[in-house]
């Protein structure tokens, strides 16, 4: 072999030729179809959030899906039986918007989008098991939503209630989690959310509030765990019973229950506030107050709540002309109705303690109500208050609190509750912010709720044998957003299953978050016709080992799914308490302008175009290389050329080890001071040290440093290219290790190069992706010498290269003899010499 470039004889790296070819080949070999019944290998269920079929796969999908695929391939190389399914979250609003705007059928719109997205997903070269695909708008899927609903109904976990619900003018009702921001807008369309009184279906998820606070057995990212904890919002305190006082229009004696976290402040209650929706408002309001109270309540209830935009908003409210009696001291205190008290939290009524609550303080100031301090640090009892004193520090005592005065605040609070509890006027109580899950939606494109309204029998569940309740295929929106089911006589009219009389179907459909609350169980038996899930499969494959997806659903999907699994468990359908063992949230890729990518902003990055230009392997690797996976950030394609160059260099060292570049003065020459044997050892050491580090990076999903280390190894090999050791046994070993390490991340180029290298003599070809992950040769990776940084008083002054096993005394002597060290010491004798981290560093301390 002459020492000239073989470039002319070596084909160029052409991903557009390689990638489709290997994707077809993998399909033919059924490399990605998981044998779910195979229990001989460790099962590894790797789940990634299924996409909404908006029409196009965008770069954000690549950002979550391709590293997930790298995990799948990495686990397979460890012998695991990996299941990586994919499907589509196919119900939901955009299909209806398209239908209304463009007069297309929602199903057709959705299915054609899915076709396009299947093609795009395949271009990633990901190992999705398409045999397990689930599409939620398929009746074979949504019938089981209906089946679950009927089971929940039987078990008392689903119920219908009339209450004030959050109402979006476009989307109809919303669950509480789907109302966002201080201005209370819809999570999906951004419209301002109103309140309406409606009969709606709920799932009784508050039953699980305490259990949902327990995250043992699942590894969630901390921010998600904290968000869920805050969302569930457990508060401990007491429920106190106040009685109404007799007056000229009312006999008194009605009970008003309030929830408080501060029973220690009970003596400071100087008025009471009921929420506008509180059931006692109407009954207690004095005749001469009626007109004003009704006007206030009417306004508060219909208010779009835009007025609440500012938290600085002045408190409003009106007195209802009745008093309550404070149970601790018999004092009469006036009752107000005010919208700063929420109907849905606690009991919808509060005792107001203006001295120790900011909101009550503001209200008292505005209405000239008394403010009485009942908690103080000792000695400051008489200090005047110019704002609510809410601080909670040790040593506070009760003041102005009758026989409880002088007690520490915490203890005083407990004693007050205990004392009132003796005759049933108080009890310890816990309240949650979490509400039951409102699942009714006034939309066509969702799962019909399987109940029938009969004039004689009331609400009658659809018999299980009649499932699914099919969505009609033809749909006429008549140009408006009103649910077309409400006009569809063929759908509406039905015989009552109970009395056979005329009846009407429920026209509400289910929140699409129902669909996504159990889809990974269905992946395990997507075609099962006699039940939603296959018990054996679920038993052996779930909880899911690893779930990957965005954090934007922290208190929506990620909470609903936990609730759903607990409901399924209570029905005996699954054994586990939690759906997944580990959840990882990747970051979000923003547009180049730092804003969310959206067609309207024109900042969307099209992955198809990048794939055409660089190939899927480059795009995959670039997304992994950009930065930490959980970080995301604004899109910038400026570094993608560097990643593409890296793959070209891998190509070159694999196929053309003896080539030399004319621009390199040192081409073909070993580094100074290295003989053949030393160079061979260097190459092996570099490869095995890289393997050690890269293995660790894969385990921890640190893909950016994984790629960086492979680049380093490639640069090292490039340095030895064209030298006498290139192409030798050690070189070949290093190249093979490089290809193995790169294979999960860049599957096509590594498969191609692996094939071109050819199988070992006498062995048939096998995919690189079926190869076992290599083992580190610790002897080869060991270092013979090490460079030790030398500090004087913590400042770097010199570096010495020593044998790895050198003992401390020897090292010290060596270091102290160095010119630079002696200069830095300037004749002073060392006080201490620190040997850090097993000889990693020496620090000489001198006064």
Binding to RNA (CB under 7 A): which residues in 321-350? 339-342, 345-346, 348, 350
Pick one of 4, 598, 636, 808: the residue that binds RNA (CB under 7 A).
636
Pick one of 707, 734, 746, 753: the residue that binds RNA (CB under 7 A).
707
What residues are paired with 195 via a beta bridge?
Answer: 166
- How buried is 398 (Cβ within 10 angstroms: 0-12 exposed, 13-18 middle, 19+ buried)? buried
> Which range of residues in 28-36, 569-577, 622-630, 675-683 is near RNA by CB under 7 A?
622-630
Place of tokens 């090490």: 786
What one-character-per-residue DSSP string does 190-233 give? Answer: -PBPEEEEEEEEEE-GGGGHHHHT--TT-B--HHHHHHHHHHH-
Q: Work out whether 633 is an interface residue with RNA (CB under 7 A).
A: yes
d(CA 436, CA 577): 19
Q: Work out whether 479 is an interface residue with RNA (CB under 7 A).
A: no
Q: Work out whether 9 is an interface residue with RNA (CB under 7 A).
A: no
Q: Which residues contact 565 (CB under 8 A, 6 or more apart)?
A: 517, 518, 574, 576, 577, 578, 579
Question: CA of 585: how far to CAs of 28, 541, 699, in Å?
Answer: 33, 22, 16
d(CA 82, CA 85): 10
CA 809 to chain centre: 54
Q: Please tell me whether residue 298 adopts helix, strand or coil conformation.
A: helix
Pick one of 372, 719, 748, 769: the residue that binds RNA (CB under 7 A).
719
d(CA 748, CA 127): 12
> Which range of residues in 97-105, 305-313, 762-770, 774-782 is near RNA by CB under 7 A?
305-313
- We find the least distance from the C-beta atom of residue 366 to RNA, in angstroms, to be 11
Q: Work out whether 649 is an interface residue with RNA (CB under 7 A).
A: yes
Q: Work out whether 372 is an interface residue with RNA (CB under 7 A).
A: no
> Which range of residues in 88-96, 417-425, 655-663, 766-774 is near RNA by CB under 7 A?
655-663
Q: Is the Cβ of residue 61 or residue 315 nearer to RNA in the bound state?
A: 315
d(CA 28, CA 15): 20
Q: Work out whether 299 is an interface residue with RNA (CB under 7 A).
A: no
- We find the least distance from the C-beta atom of residue 64 to RNA, in angstroms, to be 16
> Which range of residues in 456-464, 475-483, 770-778, 792-800 is near RNA by CB under 7 A?
792-800
| Positions in 232-291 near RNA (CB under 7 A) | 233, 235, 237, 259-262, 275
Residue of 202, 206, 205 lying closest to 508 (CA atoms): 202
Pick one of 251, 379, 662, 762: the residue that binds RNA (CB under 7 A).
662
What residues are paired with 164 via a beta bridge?
Answer: 197
Judge contact between 745 and 70, C-beta under 8 A: yes
Q: Please tell me whether residue 528 adopts helix, strand or coil conformation.
A: coil
Q: Work out whether 794 is an interface residue with RNA (CB under 7 A).
A: yes
Judge contact between 640 and 614, C-beta under 8 A: yes
Q: Work out whether 163 is an interface residue with RNA (CB under 7 A).
A: no
| Positions in 815-834 near RNA (CB under 7 A) | 820, 823, 832, 834
**Per-residue interface string for the shown chain with RNA, residues 173-202, x marking contact by CB under 7 A:** ---x--xxxx--------------------
d(CA 400, CA 415): 15
Q: Work out whether 711 is an interface residue with RNA (CB under 7 A).
A: yes
> Which range of residues in 22-30, 94-102, 762-770, 839-847 is near RNA by CB under 7 A?
839-847
**Per-residue interface string for the shown chain with RNA, residues 749-788, x marking contact by CB under 7 A:** --------------------------------------x-
Residue of 520, 573, 519, 562 lying closest to 542 (CA atoms): 520
Pick one of 33, 105, 648, 767: the residue that binds RNA (CB under 7 A).
648
Q: Please tell me whether residue 495 adopts helix, strand or coil conformation.
A: strand
Q: Which residues contact 628 (CB under 8 A, 6 or more apart)?
A: 587, 702, 704
Judge contact between 270 and 368, C-beta under 8 A: no
Pick one of 433, 504, 528, 822: the residue that binds RNA (CB under 7 A).
433
Pick one of 197, 593, 664, 778: the residue that binds RNA (CB under 7 A).
664
- We find the least distance from the C-beta atom of residue 292 to RNA, in angstroms, to be 18
Q: Is the Cβ of residue 223 or residue 472 nearer to RNA in the bound state?
A: 223
Q: Is the Cβ of residue 507 or residue 618 nearer to RNA in the bound state?
A: 618
Q: Is the Cβ of residue 537 or residue 708 nearer to RNA in the bound state?
A: 708
| Positions in 683-702 near RNA (CB under 7 A) | 702
């Amino acid at each position: 072999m002459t020492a000239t470039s073989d470039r002319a004889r070596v084909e160029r790296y052409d991903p557009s030729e390689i990638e489709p070819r290997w994707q077809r080949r993998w399909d033919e070999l059924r490399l990605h179809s998981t044998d779910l019944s195979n229990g001989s290998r460790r099962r590894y269920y790797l789940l990634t959030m299924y996409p909404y079929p908006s029409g196009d796969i965008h770069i954000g999908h690549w950002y979550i899906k391709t590293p997930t695929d790298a995990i799948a391939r990495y686990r397979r190389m460890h012998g695991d039986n990996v299941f990586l399914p994919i499907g589509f979250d196919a119900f939901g609003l955009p299909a209806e918007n398209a239908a209304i705007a463009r007069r297309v059928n929602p199903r057709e719109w959705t299915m054609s989008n899915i076709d396009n997205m299947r093609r795009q997903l395949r271009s990633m070269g990901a190992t999705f098991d398409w045999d397990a695909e689930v599409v939620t708008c398929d009746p074979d899927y949504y019938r089981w939503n209906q089946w679950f609903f009927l089971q929940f109904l039987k078990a008392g976990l689903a119920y219908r209630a009339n209450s004030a619900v959050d109402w979006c003018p476009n989307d109809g009702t919303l669950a509480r989690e789907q109302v966002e921001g201080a201005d209370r807008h819809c999570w999906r369309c951004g419209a301002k959310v109103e309140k309406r009184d409606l009969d709606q279906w709920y799932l009784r998820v508050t039953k699980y509030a305490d259990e949902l606070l327990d995250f043992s057995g699942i590894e969630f990212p901390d921010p998600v765990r904290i968000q869920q904890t805050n969302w569930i919002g457990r508060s401990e305190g007491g429920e106190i019973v106040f009685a109404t006082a007799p007056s000229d229009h009312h006999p008194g004696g009605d009970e008003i229950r309030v929830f408080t976290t501060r029973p220690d402040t009970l003596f400071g209650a100087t008025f009471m506030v009921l929420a506008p929706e509180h059931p006692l408002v109407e009954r207690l309001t004095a005749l001469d107050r009626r007109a004003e109270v009704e006007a206030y309540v009417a306004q508060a209830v219909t208010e779009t709540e835009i007025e609440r935009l500012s938290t600085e908003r002045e408190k409003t409210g009106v007195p209802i002309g009745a008093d309550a009696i404070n149970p601790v001291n018999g004092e009469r205190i006036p009752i107000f109705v005010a919208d700063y008290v929420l109907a849905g939290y606690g009991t919808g009524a509060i005792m107001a303690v203006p001295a120790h609550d900011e909101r009550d303080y503001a209200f008292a100031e505005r209405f000239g109500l008394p403010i009485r301090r009942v908690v103080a640090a000792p000695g400051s009892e008489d200090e005047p208050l110019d704002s609510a004193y809410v601080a909670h520090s040790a040593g506070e005592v009760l003041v102005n609190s009758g026989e409880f005065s002088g007690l520490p605040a915490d203890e005083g609070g407990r004693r007050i509750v205990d004392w009132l509890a003796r005759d049933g006027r108080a009890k310890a109580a816990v309240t949650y912010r979490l509400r039951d899950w409102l699942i009714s939606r006034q939309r066509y494109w969702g799962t019909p709720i399987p109940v029938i309204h009969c004039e004689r029998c009331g609400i009658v569940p659809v018999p299980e044998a009649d499932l699914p309740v099919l969505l009609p295929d033809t749909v006429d929106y008549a140009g408006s957003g009103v649910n077309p089911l409400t006009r569809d006589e063929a759908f509406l009219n039905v015989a009552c299953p109970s009395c056979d009389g005329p009846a009407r179907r429920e026209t509400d459909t289910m929140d699409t978050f129902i669909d996504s609350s159990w889809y990974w169980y269905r992946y395990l038996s997507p075609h099962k016709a006699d039940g939603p899930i296959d018990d054996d499969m679920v038993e052996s494959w779930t909880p899911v080992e690893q779930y990957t997806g965005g954090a934007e659903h922290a208190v929506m999907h990620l909470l609903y799914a936990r609730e759903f699994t607990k409901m399924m468990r209570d029905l005996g359908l699954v054994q586990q308490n939690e759906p997944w063992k580990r959840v990882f949230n990747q970051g979000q890729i923003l547009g180049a302008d730092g804003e969310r990518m959206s067609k309207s902003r024109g900042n969307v990055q099209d992955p198809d175009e990048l794939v055409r230009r660089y190939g899927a392997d480059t795009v995959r690797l670039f997304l992994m290389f950009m930065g930490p996976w959980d970080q995301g950030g604004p899109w910038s394609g400026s570094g993608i050329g560097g990643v593409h160059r890296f793959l070209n260099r891998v190509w070159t060292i694999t196929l053309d080890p003896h080539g030399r570049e004319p621009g390199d003065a040192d081409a073909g020459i070993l580094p100074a001071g290295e003989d053949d044997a030393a160079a061979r050892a260097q190459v092996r050491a570099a490869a095995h040290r890289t393997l050690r580090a890269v293995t660790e990076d894969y385990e921890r999903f640190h893909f950016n440093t994984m790629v960086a280390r492979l680049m380093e190894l490639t640069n090292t090999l490039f340095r030895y290219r064209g030298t006498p050791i290139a192409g030798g046994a050690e070189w070949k070993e290093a190249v093979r290790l490089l290809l193995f390490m790169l294979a999960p991340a860049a599957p096509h180029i590594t498969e191609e190069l692996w094939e071109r290298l050819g199988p070992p003599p006498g062995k048939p070809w096998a995919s690189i992706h079926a190869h076992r992950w290599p083992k580190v040769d610790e002897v080869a990776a060991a270092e013979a010498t090490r460079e030790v940084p030398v500090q004087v008083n913590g400042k770097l002054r010199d570096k010495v290269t020593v044998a790895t096993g050198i003992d401390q005394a020897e090292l010290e002597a060596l270091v102290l003899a160095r010119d630079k060290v002696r200069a830095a010491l300037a004749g002073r004798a060392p006080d201490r010499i620190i040997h850090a981290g097993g000889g990693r560093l020496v620090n000489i301390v001198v006064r």
